[in-house]
C-alpha cells in the first residue's frame, strides 16, 4: 500500500507560479513511476507529467512551463507561467513500472486526494 498526500495548491494570477508537493509513504520502493494528473470541471482527467528513475514525460500543453521532480519520497510539480486553462484539481499518482502509457490514468493504482489550482486572468 502507498499513501499520497498533495499540498501546495491555491489561487494565482496569470503568469504566476505554484509548486505542488506530494508526500508518499508506505511501500514506495515498488512504485517505479509517479505522475501528476489534472481534471477540470466537465473534463477528463489528463496526465501532465510523469517521472521514473531515468526519465520524465510531459504533456505538450505544459512542456517548458512545468517541471516534475522527485526527492526522497516527495514528488514535486513546479508550475510557471500559469494560464487560466491550467485551472483544475491536480492529483499525484503512483504505480509500478510497466509498458503502459505514462499518462494512462487507469493504470495507476494509488492516488492522492487532489489539490485545487485556480489561475485568474
Give all strands (DSSP E) within 27-95, no chain letters.
Answer: 33-39, 46-51, 56-58, 66-71, 74-79, 88-95
* Across 59-72, average pLDDT: 97
Specify the pLDDT at position 30.
Answer: 87
pLDDT in tens, 15-62: 999 999 999 999 888 899 999 999 999 999 999 999 998 899 999 999
Residue 32 falls in which region: left (phi positive, over 0), alpha (psi -120 to 50) or beta: alpha
Give all strands (DSSP E) within the chain, no chain letters.
Answer: 2-7, 10-13, 18-26, 33-39, 46-51, 56-58, 66-71, 74-79, 88-95, 110-111, 115-120
Amino acid at each position: 500500500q502507498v499513501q499520497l498526500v498533495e499540498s501546495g495548491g491555491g489561487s494565482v494570477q496569470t503568469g504566476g507560479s505554484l509548486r505542488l508537493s506530494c508526500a508518499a509513504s508506505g511501500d514506495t520502493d515498488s512504485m517505479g513511476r509517479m505522475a501528476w494528473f489534472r481534471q477540470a470541471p466537465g473534463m477528463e482527467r489528463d496526465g501532465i507529467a510523469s517521472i521514473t528513475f531515468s526519465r520524465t514525460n510531459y504533456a505538450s500543453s505544459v512542456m517548458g512551463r512545468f517541471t516534475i521532480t522527485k526527492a526522497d519520497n516527495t514528488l514535486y510539480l513546479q508550475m510557471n507561467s500559469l494560464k487560466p486553462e491550467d485551472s483544475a484539481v491536480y492529483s499525484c499518482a503512483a504505480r509500478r513500472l510497466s509498458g503502459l502509457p505514462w499518462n494512462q490514468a487507469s493504470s495507476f493504482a494509488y492516488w492522492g486526494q487532489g489539490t485545487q489550482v485556480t489561475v485568474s486572468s
